[in-house]
Amino acid sequence: MPTQNVGKFFDFRARVTASAWTIDPDNGLGASVVPGVSRRRSSVMEQVVELGVSSLDALQAGGSSPHFFSVELNEDRLKDAKKVQVYFDGITSDGVTLMNDYEEAGSARNVGVQLLDSEGKVLLLGHEGCVEYPAASGFRLSFAARLVSTSGPVEAGEFSSFAECVILYA
């Protein structure tokens, strides 16, 4: 049976806050990321993962707490498959951290999102990070996402990053 590719898009959203005395009132904090589901892609193919609010201190101390999400496998495609391979792809500069796609006034700066496997290990992005699972009926794959600081000082604001989850049934 030939390999079949299926993709699903994930939109990771968050807000980074600072102590009240360090917030710049002209930094557009009244702005918000696209309310509701983004219209970039079909809502059937997109899942929003809300990462909540994280403080500058938490990010500078190693990152936010992980927020769990799952990928549901297609029951029909699992019937004839012997294995399933999964990887996430998105805009990254280091191969493990998704960059902020939201670049308007009030966007968080020097912040990214890392994806973790079910054991809490950071996933490589792109095909190099492909993970293989046995094809089992009713299978849901568990992952987590967390905000982390990247290079330079972290600035408070909105965060939104898109990633495609590619599922290969073989």
CA separation for the pair 52, 67 (Å, rounded): 9
Residue 164's pLDDT is what?
92
Residue 44's pLDDT is what?
54
Residue 2's pLDDT is what?
47
Residue 23's pLDDT is what?
32
Give pLDDT tens digits for 44-93.
577 899 999 998 888 888 889 999 999 888 888 888 888 999 999 999 99
Low-confidence ranges of the chain (pLDDT < 50): 1-2, 20-43
Residue 94's pLDDT is what?
93
Residue 29's pLDDT is what?
33
Please give the torsion angle defined by the CA atoms of residues 89, 110, 28 and 156, in that order, rounded to the nearest 10 degrees: 110
